[in-house]
Structure 1
Amino acid sequence: MAEIPEFSRIVGVGSLPRGGRTIAIEADAAEREALAKRFDLVAIDALQARFALRAGRGDTVLVDGTLSAAVVQRCVVTLDPLPATIDEEIEAVFADAAADHDSVEIEVDPLAAEVEPLVDGRIDLGELAAQHLLLALDPYPRSPDAPSPVVEAPPVEIETRQPFAGLKRGGDGDAEG
């Protein structure tokens, strides 16, 4: 049995209206706490997303949206709490995982995100938001109060000996030859 993510908002996309569909989601306190634990954060004070879903070509579903979050990370030097605000754009393309994509050509923008699997005609918008939150986090948050990194002096060039530098071909004529 598949494990249900901490922040799950499953949406069926089998029959999207012609103009698409807009969905807003927000994580409650328990979901934010569970996600903070999963992502090793001090806290997630707010997490919300807004998505526009519309039918694409070849039975794909295009998802565009925005993610807003207020998180507290730990400084990598001092371990002090470090608040951060995240505002991210989200673009995703979903296609039916069970479909035979070899027989049906799906036209997707090459600059767009990878095609994600659409399982049983459903998308988990909560997990999509959580994954984008993780990608948007600063991997090395640093407090302005953290001591600056130690800068090592550049290595001193050491004169290298060249023991055979004095020997030259056809030099002094000392050698018999």
Structure 2
Amino acid sequence: MTAPEFSCLVTVAEAAQGRAVALDADEAARAAIAARLGLVALDRLVVTADVRAVAGGIAAKGMIKADLVQSCAATDLPVRARLDEPFDLRFLREAGPVASEDEEIEISDADCDILPLEDERIDIGEVAVQTLSLALDPFPRHPDADRILAENGVLSEEQAGPFAALAKLRGKPEA
């Protein structure tokens, strides 16, 4: 396993005392995170968190702030974004039901923010990177994408969609 690009470990013992964490990713870490997440650029990644002990593990509540550039899903043009994403996670020794390979389990919305505690510590830097990855727009779109696509002969969804052919027939006389 490779080392995380942006690491800040907090142990259960430190969490028992309560710990405020403030991180600002340096240029090398931002470049590595951008490569991992498929970003054009990650210009800023700042993390603030309060970490404390809870029954059975550690709670981490905080915020990530990021300035980044993604590629437009339609044109590959750069799309700038600014994210302010909160997180509120619990890392527990007994993090929920264990299912066999053939068994399905259902989890509630509250269970989504519960993760397993491994080696009596958490990595707030990795929490930030994973939170960032979940907050990214999966299909970023450049403001000029529709115009550029039209100029290059690409039909819009309305022009090429399933009802476009029916719309064309509506104006034709019956034979």
| TM-score normalised by the chain length of structure 2 | 0.74
CA shift digits 1:28-75 (9 cap, x unpaired) = 100100111111111000001111111212x22111000100000011
Q: SS at 2:2's partner residue?
A: coil
Match of 1:94 in 2: 91
Deviation at 1:77, TM superposition (A): 1.5
Contact 2:42–2:69, Cα closer than 8 Å, also in 1? yes
Letter in 1 for 2:126: E
Count of residues in correspondence between the two structures: 148
Deviation at 1:15, TM superposition (A): 4.4
Match of 1:119 in 2: 118
Match of 1:46 in 2: 44
Match of 1:27 in 2: 25
Match of 1:55 in 2: 53
Percent identity, aligned pairs only? 38
Question: Mind listing any 5+ residue stretches in structure 2 that lack a counterpart?
Answer: 99-107, 148-155, 170-175
Higher helix share: 2
Q: State the 4+ residue runs in structure 1 displaced beyond 4 angstroms.
A: none
Deviation at 1:118, TM superposition (A): 1.8
Q: SS at 1:78's partner residue?
A: coil
Cα-Cα RMSD: 2.7
Q: SS at 1:156's partner residue?
A: helix
Write out aligned runs for 1:165-176 (5 A).
Answer: none
Query: Whole-Å Cα distance in 1 between the matches of residues 31 and 14 of structure 2?
Result: 34
Q: Does 1:78 align with 2:88?
A: no
